[in-house]
Amino acid sequence: EFFYLLTLTAIHWAAISGHHQVLAFLIEKLGKKILTFKQNPLILATRYGRTECVKLLLKAGYDLSHTDSIFFYFILCSFIILIYGIFSFIFFLTSSPLHLACWFGHTDIVQELLKYDVNVDQLDDSGKTPLHCCCWFGNRQSEAALIA
C-alpha cells in the first residue's frame, strides 16, 4: 500500500480531494503527462463524486473509456470484498468512469460524462454496462439519466 501511495501525483491527490482550483492549475502547467501505472485521475474524481474535478478533467481530454488496473482498485477499495462479495469486487476493479458514477450514484457526474458522448454500452471486463451498475445498486436517478 505504501508503494501505491507513492505512485500518486499531485493531480491524482487534487482529484481525490476535490481541490478543483489546484487541479486546474496543475492541468494548465502539466497537461496530461501525469499518468502512472495507467491510473486516470478521472477515475478517482468520479469515484469520490468530485463533479468540478470531473468537468476539468473532461475539458482537458482525459480518456472516458479508460479502465484502471486491479492493483489500483485493490488498494483503494478492498473493503468491498466484505460488503458485496468477491464477484462484485472483481466487477468494480475493471470499471470505466461511467461505470463508477453509476455504481456510486453520482448522477451529476453521469450527466456530465454524457455531455462528452461517452459510450453508454461500454462493457467492463465482466461484461456489464453502466446501466447494469445502476440497476444492481438501485441508483434510479443515474438509470434515468442513461436512458433519457
Residue 1: pLDDT band (50, 70, 90) is very low
Q: Distance from first CA to last CA of the chain, Å, rounded? A: 41
Query: Which alpha helices (H) appear in 18-96, and where do they start and end?
Result: 20-30, 41-47, 51-59, 70-76, 80-84, 86-93
pLDDT in tens, 7-63: 778 888 899 899 999 999 998 887 766 554 457 888 889 988 999 999 999 998 887
Instruction: Round to whole Å and give the CA distance between 23 and 37.
Output: 20
pLDDT in tens, 84-114: 444 444 444 567 899 989 988 999 999 999 9
Is 5 exposed, middle or buried, given 0-12, 13-18 or 19+ CB atoms closer than 10 A? exposed
Residue pair 97/64 in contact by the 8 Å Cβ criterion = yes
